[in-house]
Amino acid sequence: MGCPDWPLCYGKVLPPWELTALIEYSHRLMASAIVSPLVLLTCGVSWLAHRQERWLVLPSSLAVVLLLAQALLGGVTVLTELPGPVVASHLALGQALLGCLVLVMVVAYRGPLGFSHQISGLSGAARGSDAGRFPTLALISAGAVYLLILSGSVVTASDATGACVTWPLCQGRVIPEGLLPMIHMAHRLLAAVIGAFLLYVLYLGFRDSQKTGELRLLSLAVAVFFGAQVLVGAFTIWSGFQPHLMALHLSMSALVWALMAGLAVLSLTRPGGSPRTGSVAAGGDTAHD
């Protein structure tokens, strides 16, 4: 609420020289002057230079839709004075936009997704093998991380952030009394379940020496940052919910989501199928197949 109106700030193009207004205005300025032009330019280039590559055109077009929806929802968030459900939806859209852009980035560098290639890999010796199912497990893990972020936004939207002042238990109990403590504790329990599954999947990705160095490195990075995210969450509670730690907690959740989304997309890319060489491969070069 540093700027209580939208799209202007106190009815002016430039904000007053006040800290909260400058913080809010810098966020709007980054969204409108940096992020939006880049997203629009990415979409335009994908249509002009890679029109035949659906894994670039579709997600980059979806990113533009999400960007517009996110901007409008940001305005609604301010004008309605930050109601919890709207704030949570604003976060959910922002994370969806981030994941969409990660998909575009990975495909631009590594080539289109090859679901048929992955399915065929499961039909032979890899069937029943955890390593052979890694792309599917990674995709499920990415969805689970996104779900975990949404559950955190529910905690914030319901004003349950400060309902549990101890960690890892809530006032010394796994199932605390009261609605708000239960909402907060549900987020922690979900994090424990998703974290266990996530670490198992990442272990599969890291231990397989046949996987590319990028996959193994990303698996390790997600595991490290997820562990760091848990510690930041604990320190946030122990410190009495300091704003800078809460911001760091949210930022690291976005980082884990981006890395996990990138890992999932990377595991699904078709070997050798670069968008720039796709037309050559379509013309009869089957060496990569």
Q: How many residues does the chain have?
A: 289
Mean pLDDT value of segment 216-233 = 94
Per residue in 101-134, pLDDT (tens digit) is 999 999 999 888 876 545 444 443 344 555 568 8
Phi, psi torsion values for 116, nearest 5 degrees = -65, -35
Closest alpha carbon to 150 in 193, 94, 68, 234: 94
CB proximity list for 287: less than 8 A, separation 6 or greater:
272
pLDDT for the residue 132: 66
Per residue in 23-73, pLDDT (tens digit) is 999 999 999 999 999 999 999 999 999 989 999 999 999 999 999 999 999
Mean pLDDT value of segment 135-140 = 94
- pLDDT at residue 190 is higher than 90: yes
For the beta carbon of residue 79, count every other beta carbon within 10 angstroms.
12
DSSP secondary structure string for all residues of 18-65: -HHHHHHHHHHHHIIIIIHHHHHHHHHHHHHH-TT-HHHHHHHHHHHH
pLDDT for the residue 114: 77
**pTM of the full structure:** 0.84
Per residue in 242-276, pLDDT (tens digit) is 999 999 999 999 999 999 999 999 999 875 555 54
Between 184 and 275, name the one with better pLDDT.
184
Q: Does residue 269 sit in helix, strand or coil?
A: strand
Between 78 and 286, name the one with better pLDDT.
78
